Amino acid sequence: MLTSHLSKLAATSIFATIALTGCSALGGGETATPSPSASTTTEATTADGGGTCADVQAEIDSISTSVQGIADQVPGDIPGAVATLATIGASLTTLQQSVTDPDLKTHVDTLVTEVTELQTTAGELANGEGGFAAAASILTQLGEVESALSSLTAYCELQTS
């Protein structure tokens, strides 16, 4: 419940920031450079083993950490968020290829779908497209990514306990 209220508070403050800056976090049409924090995320690695939760837990944890970092990058560092999402996408592709458990694969596929949608919206926003609608949508989609990730994590906790 507290997390829900904090998420709503964070979303409200992000909307206010976006509205006040007029979505100009990127500057006057200049090409923005991704933040250094985007390059510090863990690169995709092939999971050892048979592709069950226990085999890919480290990769899931890395993706989770990266997703949490996106909330700090939006709205002020959209190019950094785009770079982080690219790293997450690469990690998810590797994860998707290594998973053999059909139920786990379903959870991973859902997360891939949500991240892909978020990548598209963040890319539009980074390119100056979409305006306020894209800015508002990015927050909704980030929540959907977090929800899919929570579902994946909960599934794996049940499998490994």
Q: Is the pLDDT of residue 103 over 90?
A: yes
107 CB-contact burial (10 Å; exposed 0-12 / middle 13-18 / buried 19+): buried
Domain ranges, residue 80: 2-160
Q: What CATH number corresponds to the domain at position 43?
A: 1.20.1420
> Does the pLDDT value for residue 136 go beyond 60?
yes
What amino acid is encoded at 91 in this protein?
S
Residues near 40 by Cβ (< 8 Å), separated by ≥ 6?
none
pLDDT of 159 above 80: yes
Number of structural domains the chain divides into: 1
Average pLDDT rounded to a whole number, residues 28-56: 49
pLDDT band at 32 (very low <50, low <70, confident <90, very high): very low
The whole model's pTM is what?
Answer: 0.68
Residue the block writes with tokens 């909330």: 71
Per-residue pLDDT of 70-99, as tens digits, reads: 888 877 888 898 999 999 999 999 999 999
Q: How many CA atoms lie within 13 A of 26 on its CB side?
A: 22
